[in-house]
Amino acid sequence: MKNITPFSRLFLGFAIFAAAPVAVHANSMTPRAVVELYTSQGCNSCPPADQALADIAQSRDDILVLSFHVDYWNYLGWEDPFSDPANTKRQKDYASGLQARYVFTPQVIINGTDVVRAPDSSHIANAVDRHIALPVLARLDLTPPPNSETLPSGTLTLEASADVNADSRMHLWLVGFDRQRSSNVATGENAGRTLKHVNVVRELIDLGPWQGDSRTIPIQLAKKCDGGIAVLVQNGPGGPIHSAVMARF
C-alpha cells in the first residue's frame, strides 16, 4: 500500500461534551492500521476469528480492531443480536471496491485494501506490519467520555490546508463500539456455545463526503457504547482508509 501524502497537513478536531461534575479526558490516537472483522454468531467458522481479533486487541494497542456483525446468517436459526444491515452493506461495498464476486465470513480487511483469509492472530499481525503506518491526521477530544446514562454527542471539526485535493473521494465514518460483548447461543450452527467478541460495532454513521473544506459537523449517536469512538477517513464507501483516529472510554 502506498503512503498517502496529500493529506499530511489535515487536522480533524472532535469533542464530546456531557453533563458531569468532573471532566475526565480520554486520550486519542491514530492507530497504525484499522482491522475490520466481518463475523456472525450464526457462522460456525467465525469463533476462531473472533478469538484472533481478541488476541490482537489484547496484545497490540497500536491497532484499531472492529467487529462488524453481518445479518445474512440470521435466517439459519439464530439471530445475531449485534448484526446490522449497515455492516452487511459495508462489507458488500468492500467486495465491489476489491472486485470480489461475493462476501463471506469470517473476513478480515486491513485499511480497506488487504483481505486476510483464514485469519489467526499471527496472520493478522503480519499483514498489519506489511502496511505503512497510517499518517496522523486527526485528534479526538472527549470531555468527559459518555457514561452508562448518556449518549455520545458533540461536534466534528474539520480543517484542511490548500493541498488537499478537492476532487478526492474522501468519506467520513463515525463508529461507536463496545469493548466486549458475549452471548449464549441457543440455536443454529453454534448452538450451546458462549461466544465472546471485542470492539463490537454498535453504530456506524455515514457523515458523508468531504472535499477538504473547513466545517463543523454536529454528531449524535443513537446507541450507547462503552468501548470508544473512532472516525475513519476513507475513499468513498469501500475504498482505502487514509487515516483514522480513536478514543477508548
Backbone angles phi, psi at 182, to 5 degrees: -145, 160
CA–CA gap between residue 154 and residue 142 (Å, rounded) = 9
| For range 90-94, the mean pLDDT | 97
User: Residue 191 belongs to what H/E stretch?
Assistant: none
Digit-coded pLDDT (tens) for 50-59: 999 999 999 9
Average pLDDT of the chain is 82
Closest to 114 measured CA to CA, from 51, 54, 33, 60: 33
Digit-coded pLDDT (tens) for 25-75: 356 788 999 999 999 999 999 999 999 999 999 999 999 999 999 999 999
Set out the domains of the chain in order of their start, with CATH numbers: 11-248 (3.40.30.10)
Q: Is the model's pLDDT at 15 over the cut of 60?
A: no
| For range 179-186, the mean pLDDT | 96
Digit-coded pLDDT (tens) for 142-168: 655 566 667 776 666 666 544 455 556
Describe the strand order of the beta sheet including 28-29 as a list of residue ranges. 28-29, 241-248, 228-235, 170-184, 194-209, 63-69, 33-39, 107-110, 114-116
Query: Could you tell me which residue, 83 or 152, shows the higher pLDDT?
Result: 83
Cell (9 digits) for 132? 505503512
